[in-house]
Amino acid sequence: HIWRQFLGHQVVMPVRNGRLELGPWEQIFYCEFDGQRTKRVLVKIIGE
């Protein structure tokens, strides 16, 4: 559980014209440190 404190649990990423706007060195990684179990991922899209 301590990893969660260091890594955080949410991210906000800009989307333009249906594509993620990632910088040249940016990537998205999902890490699970509690072992294999059923997971829930929530994606929230907010428009202008």
In this prediction, residue 8 carries a pLDDT of 65
Q: How far apart are CA 28 and CA 42, in angstroms?
A: 15
pLDDT at 3: 64
pLDDT at residue 1 is higher than 70: no
Distances (CA, A) of 33 to 5, 9, 36: 12, 12, 9
Say what the pTM is: 0.48
Percent of the chain with pLDDT over 70: 81
pLDDT per residue as tens digits for the range 29-40: 877 777 788 888
Between strands 19-20 and 15-16, the pairing is antiparallel
Output the CA torsion sign for 12, 46, 33, 2: positive
